[in-house]
Amino acid sequence: MPTLRQLSADLSTALQALYDVPEAEAITAQVLEHLLNLTPLQRRMRAGEEVGAEVRLAELPGIQARLLLHEPLQYVLGVAHFAGLELEVTPATLIPRPETEELVALMAREQHGRPGLRVLDVGTGSGCIPLALARQLPGACLTAVDVSAAALAVARRNAARYQVAIDFQQVDILTDVPRLAAPLDVLVSNPPYVLENERPLMRPNVLAYEPATALFVPDHDPLRFYRRIAGLGRELLRPGGALYFEINEQFAAETVDLLWSLGYRETAARHDIFDRSRMVRATWPGSKTQQ
């Protein structure tokens, strides 16, 4: 029987046809930890041990084949890790990104200690944002919308797993308005923001597998979703309510200017850990006459 070290070396070597060595090794580690139900420490400590005929190990050749077709690891394994959660993901949902975790962390810092917050997440996908907020802002009243019924089915399963009450609604935010019982304290969205002309710059595993409707906007209207959601925020947010966006870094200034022109105040771009402008936050003062 092969040792865990041998299995790791074989899979990593195969994946180096597509990925550089550090990424191939990282993917390999996650695959084996998932299949053998090991922590990273257990995997390292047991590297020299022979691996028995565990039932799940039989899945390894199929996993390797899918990875070599550029399929993202998270879709192959069916799970993604986000803010301490293990979430189901499918090709109906975007794979949660680290910058979205930073957006959640910003919201949690600014909204901490305010029980009963009413929060709306637009374009929820896997439900990663409201599920993470449920942990970090206990007692929040959470609503999440998405245009995709398939994505909402995944989000509902994730919420059921963690026993979090979220009002999921199928809404095309460009044409419809979510149903809310009271004004919002927080409106958040990670909407489509990748320009069509940026497709050639993206990795094959993103283009071939992740949902295009959750990624791309027309080149001639890059702020389409921000304009619509911010406009709805003027109606849905209570005075003093907060708006948070994840953004395309090349349109940070334009997004800030858009929000200011719509009457938002305390509007500012925020940087991620790589010093890129990837978030914008603003406050709705409650006056629709400020233009």
Domain with residue 265: its CATH number is 3.40.50.150
Query: Domain range holding 50?
Result: 4-69
Q: Do both 231 and 188 map to the same domain?
A: yes
- Number of structural domains (the chain) is 2
Q: Do both 121 and 175 map to the same domain?
A: yes
Q: Do both 22 and 98 map to the same domain?
A: no
Q: Do both 170 and 59 map to the same domain?
A: no
Q: Do both 56 and 101 map to the same domain?
A: no
Q: Do both 32 and 125 map to the same domain?
A: no
Flag whether 290 is in a domain: no
Q: Do both 180 and 275 map to the same domain?
A: yes
pLDDT in tens, 178-233: 999 999 999 999 999 999 999 888 888 898 899 988 999 999 999 999 999 999 99
Flag whether 75 is in a domain: no
Flag whether 77 is in a domain: no
Q: Do both 28 and 158 map to the same domain?
A: no
Q: Do both 17 and 109 map to the same domain?
A: no
| pLDDT greater than 80 at residue 288 | no
Beta strands at 85-88 and 79-82: parallel, antiparallel or unpaired = antiparallel
pLDDT in tens, 52-101: 766 678 899 999 999 999 999 999 999 999 999 999 999 999 999 999 99
Flag whether 227 is in a domain: yes
Flag whether 82 is in a domain: no
Flag whether 221 is in a domain: yes
Among 34, 69, 104, the domain boundary falls at 69
pLDDT value, residue 290: 40
pLDDT value, residue 55: 62
pLDDT in tens, 236-247: 999 999 999 999
Percent of the chain with pLDDT over 70: 97
SS3 for the chain is CCEHHHHHHHHHHHHCCCCCHHHHHHHHHHHHHHHHCCCHHHHHHCCCCECCCCHHHHHHHHHHHHHCCCCCHHHHHCEEEECCEEEECCCCCCCCCHHHHHHHHHHHHHHCCCCCCEEEEECCCCCHHHHHHHHHCCCCEEEEEECCHHHHHHHHHHHHHCCCCEEEEECCCCCCCCCCCCCEEEEEECCCCEEHHHHHHCCHHHHHHCCHHHCEECCCCCCHHHHHHHHHHHHHEEEEEEEEEECCHHHHHHHHHHHHHCCCEEEEEEECCCCCEEEEEEEECCCCCCC
Flag whether 86 is in a domain: no
Flag whether 98 is in a domain: yes
- Which whole-number Å values give the CA distances from 45 to 29, 38, 112, 164, in the listed order? 13, 10, 39, 36
Q: Do both 230 and 110 map to the same domain?
A: yes
Q: Do both 43 and 176 map to the same domain?
A: no
Q: Do both 180 and 277 map to the same domain?
A: yes
